[in-house]
Amino acid sequence: MISMLKKEIHEFLDSLIAYVVIGIFLIGMGLLMWVFPETNVLDYGYASMETIFSLAPYVFMFLVPAVTMRSFAEEKRNGTIELLYTLPFKEIHIVAGKFLAGFFLVLFSILPTLVYYFSLSYLGNPVGNLDTAGITGSYIGLILLAAIFTSIGVMASALTGNQIVSFILAAFLCFFFYTGFESLASINTWSETSEIIGGIGILAHYEILSKGLVDISDVVYLLSLSAFFLYVTKIVLNLQKG
C-alpha cells in the first residue's frame, strides 16, 4: 500500500491538477475571508472563521472530485488498469493507496488556512479572543468531510472510465450526501421521522462539530461513511476484474 501511495502522490505532484486545486482553494478562501464584502471578517467586525467552515464544504464538492476523477478513470483510459491488477497488491491496498494520495493532497490545501487562525487571534480584541474549541471542532469536521468526499470521488472514478463523468457523479454524490438528507427531512411528509432522515446526512454531524462539540458518535459516523464508500469501491473493482 505504501508503494501505491508513493506512486499516486508522485503522479499528482507531476501534474498541474494538484497545484491548480490547492491554488484555487486557497485563493477562493482568502477572497471570501478577507476581500468579498458579503463575507469578509474585517467588515463583520467579529473574529471568527465561520466563513471558511460554512463555505469550504461547497468548494470541496468541486475541488475534491477534480482531484479524484483520474484515480481509476485514467488507468482505464490508458489501459493500465489490467497491469495494476497484475501487481502484488490486493484490491484494498490499491483503493487505500489512491484514497490516501487524494486525501493528503486535500489536507495539504487545508493546512495553510491555519494562518487565518493566528491572524484573527492577533486582530481579536483582546488579542487571542477566538472560539478555539469551535475552530478545532470545525477543523476536525472539515478533515473528516475531506475524507468522505475523497472516498466518494475514488468510488465514482472506479465506476467509469471517463474523467468528466467521474467528476460530475462525484460532485452530485458529495452534494446529495452533504445536504440532500437535510432537504428531505424538511419535507412535512415525514413528521416524527424527519430527524432520523436528517441524521443520515453529513450536514447534521458537521454542524455539531463546527460548534466545538466533538462527539465520538459524530466522528465514528463520518469515518464509517468514508469506509463504506471505500468498501463499495473495492467491490466494484472485484466485479470489473471478473
Over residues 213-218, the mean pLDDT reads: 85
Query: Which residues have CB under 8 Å from 83's CB, separation 6+?
Result: none
The pTM score is 0.89
Cell numbers 465561520: residue: 50
Measure the CA–CA gap between 24 and 4, rounded to whole angstroms: 27
Cα–Cα distance between 67 and 190 in angstroms, integer? 37
Residue 204 vs residue 229, higher pLDDT:
229
Cell 468526499 belongs to 149
Residue type present at position 34: W
What's the pLDDT tens digit per position in 109-133? 888 888 888 887 777 667 666 777 8
Q: What are the domain boundaries of the chain?
A: 2-241
- Alpha helices (H) along 176-215: 181-185, 194-200, 202-210
Grid coordinates in use for 219?
466522528
> Do 7 and 93 touch, CB atoms closer than 8 A?
no
pLDDT tens string 148-184: 999 999 999 999 888 999 999 999 999 999 988 777 7
